[in-house]
C-alpha cells in the first residue's frame, strides 16, 4: 500500500525515495510504502495549516468542541480496525491497542470540554476606570512530531488540545507508524474537520523534521528520543519557536520490606514487560531492599514466564515483538551473557523478558533507556539509598514505590525526581485528563494533557481599555 500526505484536505504524494513500514511480528509483511519527504512537502503542509488558521480561530469554541466530539465518534466507530492496524504496524498486543483507541475517544471528548473553559481573567488596573484583562489566544500552526509506540494516542493528545484552543496542526508521525498516522488523517476527514486544520506529513524525521520547524510553525511539540528532542530544542530556540519535548525515561520501581510483594510483582512485571517494555513510562529498574530482593525477583520472574509473547492479535498476548531488528539487537547486546536465553528464533523481532541482577546504579544498563523487556535489579540497604539510586539517572519521568508506610510514601513523593509519581501502582498507565511529563532530562519541563495542555497551546495577551 502506497501512503500519501494529507495536506489541506487532500491526499497527495510525498517526494523522495521510498521508505517501508514493516510488521514487526512478521517483517515479510510490508504494511506500507511512502516517500521519505522533502522540504517542499513540509512547506506545503505548513502553508495549508496557515491558510486554514484564520477561519478556525474564528470558529466559536462550542463549534470547535463539536468537531472534536464528531472526531471522537468516528474513532469510536472505527476503534476495532484502528486497534488491529496498530497491532499489525507497531506490534502492540491487541488488548493494549484497543485500550489506546478508547483512550483517543476519551482525550477528544475531554478537550471538547476544555475548549469551553474561561479563557482569561479581569485584573485591576493601576487607576480606577480602565478595563484590564488577560486572555489566552491560539498560537497559530503547531507542528507535532510523534513516536511509533503510541501511534494513535500521542498524536491525539497533542492534536486535540491544539485544535480545541484554535490552532491548526501538522502531524509528522514516526516512519514506523506511518500507516496508522494516515488512518488518523482519514478519521479527521470523515469527522468533517475543516480542510487544512489537521494535516499529516509522512517521511523520514531527519528529512522533514527540520524543514517542518523552519517552514514557519509557531510551536513544535515532540515526543521521542532525548537525542532528537534536544537537537530540535536547540533549533527551535534559534528560530524562537515555542517548543515542548517529552524524551523518555529510565523509570524505577522501589520495593521496601513492608510491601505487598504479590501486588508489587504483578505491577512491576506488567510495567516492565508488557508491550516489550516499549513505553516511555515502562519500569526498567527494580530497586529493592536486601530483605526482599530475592523474593520479589522470583515473583516477577514467575509472572514474566507466564506472559504470552505473541501473536499480537491474540487477546492473551502480553509482550509482542520489538519494533525493529536494530532495537532487538541493541537490547540483546546490552544483555550480554543472557542474550542467548532471551533471543527467540523465528521471523518476528521477539525477545523474552529478561532481568539483570547485580547492577550498580551507575552501570550503563541502569542508565540508558533500552526500550526493551529488560528489567535491571539494584539492591539497596534502606529507603534513603533506594531513593538516591532511583534519582541517579539523567531521566525523571515516572517512578513507583511499594510500601504500606504512609510516612515513607509521603517522603518519597516529595524527594523522588519524577513527574509521574506512584505509590503501590504501576509506572505505566496515565489518565488522559491528568498532567503528563517528566523532570530533568525526560522533558523540557512543561506538561502535556489535562488542564496543563492549555499552557503550551495558547499565549496570553494583556489588554487595557481606557474609557
Q: How far apart are CA 329 and CA 326, in angstroms?
A: 5
Residue 100 binds ligand ADP (CB under 6 A): no
Q: Single out the catalytic residue among 96, 280, 317, 379.
A: 280
Q: How far apart are CA 283 and CA 352, in angstroms?
A: 16
Minimum gap (Å) between residue 337 Cβ and ligand ADP: 26
Among 26, 225, 266, 424, binds ligand ADP (CB under 6 A): 225
Stretch that binds ligand ADP, among 7-15, 120-128, 172-180, 306-314 (CB under 6 A): 172-180
Among 172, 179, 250, 447, binds ligand ADP (CB under 6 A): 172
Residues 427, 251 contacting (CB under 8 angstroms): yes
Stretch that binds ligand ADP, among 26-34, 169-177, 313-321, 432-440 (CB under 6 A): 169-177
With respect to ligand ADP, which residue has the nearer C-beta, 395 or 402? Answer: 395
With respect to ligand ADP, which residue has the nearer C-beta, 20 or 410? Answer: 20
With respect to ligand ADP, which residue has the nearer C-beta, 119 or 228? Answer: 228
Minimum gap (Å) between residue 243 Cβ and ligand ADP: 12
With respect to ligand ADP, which residue has the nearer C-beta, 323 or 378? Answer: 323
Stretch that binds ligand ADP, among 33-41, 224-232, 292-300, 356-364 (CB under 6 A): 224-232
Among 138, 140, 224, 450, binds ligand ADP (CB under 6 A): 224
Residue 320 binds ligand ADP (CB under 6 A): no
Among 232, 236, 252, 399, binds ligand ADP (CB under 6 A): 232
Please, what is the Cα angle at 78 between 282 and 22, to 5 degrees? 55
Among 1, 63, 131, 206, binds ligand ADP (CB under 6 A): 206
Residue 175 binds ligand ADP (CB under 6 A): yes
Residues 267, 400 contacting (CB under 8 angstroms): yes
Residue 217 binds ligand ADP (CB under 6 A): no
Residues 133, 146 contacting (CB under 8 angstroms): no
**Can you give the three-state secondary structure of the chain, one letter per residue?**
CECCEEECCEEECCCCCEEEEECCCCCCCEEEEEECCCHHHHHHHHHHHHHHHHHHHHCCHHHHHHHHHHHHHHHHHCHHHHHHHHHHHHCCCHHHHHHHHHHHHHHHHHHHHHCCCCCEEECCCCCCCCEEEEEEEECCEEEEECCCCCCCHHHHHHHHHHHHCCCEEEEECCHHHHHHHHHHHHHHHHCCCCCCCEEECCCCHHHHHHHHHHCCCCEEEEECCHHHHHHHHHHHHHHCCEEEEECCCCEEEEECCCCCHHHHHHHHHHHHHHHHHCCCCCEEEEEEEHHHHHHHHHHHHHHHHCCECCCCCCCCECCCCCCCHHHHHHHHHHHHHHHHHHECCCCCCCECCEEECCCCCCCHHHCCCCCCCEEEEEEECCHHHHHHHHHCCCCCCEEEEECCCHHHHHHHHHHCCCCEEEECCCCCCCCCCCCECCCHHHECCCCECHHHHHHHHEEEEEEEECC
Pull the grid cell for residue 249: 525515561
With respect to ligand ADP, which residue has the nearer C-beta, 205 or 396? Answer: 205
Residue 205 binds ligand ADP (CB under 6 A): yes
Residue 353 binds ligand ADP (CB under 6 A): no
With respect to ligand ADP, which residue has the nearer C-beta, 206 or 410? Answer: 206
Site string for ligand ADP, 127-166 (x = CB under 6 A): ------------------xxx-------------------
With respect to ligand ADP, which residue has the nearer C-beta, 19 or 359? Answer: 19
Q: Single out the catalytic residue among 96, 100, 246, 369.
A: 246
Minimum gap (Å) between residue 9 Cβ and ligand ADP: 23
Minimum gap (Å) between residue 247 Cβ and ligand ADP: 8
Active site residue 280: yes
Active site residue 142: no
Q: Enumerate the β-bridge partners of residue 12.
A: 5
Among 228, 230, 388, 452, binds ligand ADP (CB under 6 A): 228
Stretch that binds ligand ADP, among 73-81, 154-162, 187-195, 202-210 (CB under 6 A): 202-210
Residues 370, 331 contacting (CB under 8 angstroms): yes
Minimum gap (Å) between residue 172 Cβ and ligand ADP: 6
Q: Which residues are catalytic?
A: 246, 280
Q: Using CB under 6 A, list all residues that contact ligand ADP.
A: 145-147, 172, 174-175, 205-206, 209-210, 224-225, 228, 232
Amino acid at each position: 500500500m502506497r501512503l500519501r500526505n494529507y495536506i489541506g484536505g487532500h491526499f497527495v504524494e510525498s517526494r523522495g525515495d521510498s521508505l517501508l513500514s514493516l510488521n514487526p511480528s512478521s517483517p515479510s509483511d510490508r504494511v506500507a510504502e511512502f516517500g521519505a519527504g522533502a522540504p517542499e512537502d513540509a512547506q506545503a503542509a505548513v502553508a495549508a495549516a496557515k491558510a486554514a488558521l484564520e477561519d478556525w480561530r474564528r470558529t466559536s469554541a462550542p463549534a470547535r468542541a463539536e468537531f472534536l466530539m464528531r472526531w471522537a465518534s468516528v474513532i469510536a466507530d472505527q476503534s476495532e480496525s484502528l486497534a488491529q492496524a496498530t497491532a499489525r504496524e507497531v506490534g502492540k498486543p491487541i488488548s493494549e491497542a484497543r485500550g489506546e483507541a478508547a483512550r483517543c475517544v476519551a482525550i477528544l471528548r475531554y478537550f471538547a470540554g476544555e475548549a469551553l473553559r474561561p479563557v482569561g481573567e479581569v485584573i485591576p488596573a493601576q487607576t480606577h476606570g480602565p478595563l484590564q484583562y488577560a486572555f489566552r489566544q491560539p498560537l497559530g500552526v503547531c507542528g507535532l512530531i510523534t513516536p511509533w509506540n503510541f501511534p494513535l494516542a500521542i498524536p491525539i493528545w497533542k492534536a486535540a488540545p491544539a485544535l480545541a484552543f484554535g490552532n491548526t496542526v501538522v502531524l509528522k508521525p514516526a516512519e514506523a507508524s506511518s500507516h496508522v498516522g494516515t488512518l488518523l488523517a482519514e478519521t479527521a476527514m470523515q469527522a468533517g474537520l475543516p480542510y487544512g486544520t489537521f494535516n499529516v506529513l509522512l517521511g523520514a524525521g531527519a528529512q522533514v523534521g527540520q524543514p517542518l520547524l523552519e517552514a514557519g510553525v509557531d510551536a513544535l511539540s515532540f515526543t521521542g528520543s532525548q537525542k532528537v528532542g534536544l537537537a530540535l530544542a536547540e533549533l527551535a530556540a534559534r528560530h524562537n519557536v515555542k517548543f515542548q519535548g517529552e524524551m523518555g525515561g529510565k523509570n524505577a520501581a522501589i520495593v521496601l520490606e513492608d510491601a505487598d510483594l504479590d501486588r508489587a510483582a504483578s505491577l512491576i512485571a506488567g510495567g516492565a514487560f508488557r508491550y516489550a517494555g516499549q513505553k516511555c513510562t515502562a519500569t526498567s529498574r527494580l530497586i529493592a531492599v536486601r530483605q526482599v530482593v530475592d523474593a520479589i525477583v522470583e515473583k516477577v520472574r514467575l509472572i514474566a514466564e507466564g506472559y504470552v509473547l505473541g501473536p499480537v492479535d491474540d487477546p492473551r498476548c502480553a509482550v509482542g515483538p520489538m519494533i525493529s531488528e536494530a532495537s532487538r539487537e541493541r537490547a540483546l547486546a546490552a544483555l550480554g551473557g543472557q542474550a542467548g536465553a532471551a533471543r527467540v528464533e523465528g521471523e518476528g523481532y521477539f525477545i523474552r523478558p529478561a532481568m539483570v541482577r547485580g547492577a550498580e546504579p551507575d552501570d550503563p544498563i541502569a542508565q540508558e533507556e533500552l526500550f526493551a523487556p529488560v528489567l535491571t535489579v539494584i539492591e539497596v540497604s534502606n529507603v534513603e539509598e533506594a531513593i538516591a539510586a532511583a534519582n541517579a539517572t539523567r531521566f525523571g519521568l515516572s517512578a513507583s514505590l511499594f510500601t504500606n508506610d504512609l510516612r515513607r510514601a509521603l517522603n518519597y513523593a516529595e524527594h523522588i525526581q519524577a513527574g509521574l509519581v506512584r505509590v503501590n501502582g504501576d509506572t505505566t498507565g496515565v489518565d488522559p485528563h491528568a498532567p503528563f511529563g517528566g523532570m530533568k532530562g525526560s522533558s523540557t519541563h512543561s506538561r502535556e494533557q489535562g488542564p496543563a495542555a492549555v499552557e503550551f497551546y495558547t499565549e496570553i495577551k494583556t489588554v487595557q481599555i481606557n474609557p
